[in-house]
């Protein structure tokens, strides 16, 4: 006996629902992980930038800036 068109349609919908659930289940932890990687990378890049800024400002404060 051949499966009817409605069986195929239901099966297709079921497979799409499974796929959507799997994509959602992977997307949430994936995006959290991506956020953590991005935040840590930004922190690693910002520490030397802020450090250099303060070294520069300290140098300007210490030596009084450009001479006239």
Q: How would you write the pLDDT of the chain (68 residues) with one tens digit per residue?
A: 566 667 778 888 999 999 888 888 888 888 899 999 999 999 898 999 999 999 989 888 888 866 65
56: which 2 tokens?
A: 């520069």
pLDDT of 24 reads 84
pTM for the model stands at: 0.44
**Residue 25, H or E segment:** helix 5-63
Q: Which of 14, 13, 11, 17 is closest to 3 using CA atoms?
A: 11
Please give the Cα distance from 9 to 7 (Å, whole number). 5
Please give the Cα distance from 12 to 19 (Å, whole number). 10
pLDDT of 53 reads 92
């Amino acid at each position: 006996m051949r499966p009817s068109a409605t069986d195929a349609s239901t099966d297709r919908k079921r497979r799409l629902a499974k796929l959507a659930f799997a994509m959602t289940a992977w997307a949430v932890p994936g995006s959290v992980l991506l956020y953590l990687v991005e935040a840590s990378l930004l922190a690693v890049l910002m520490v030397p930038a802020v450090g250099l800024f303060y070294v520069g400002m300290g140098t300007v404060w210490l030596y009084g800036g450009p001479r006239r």
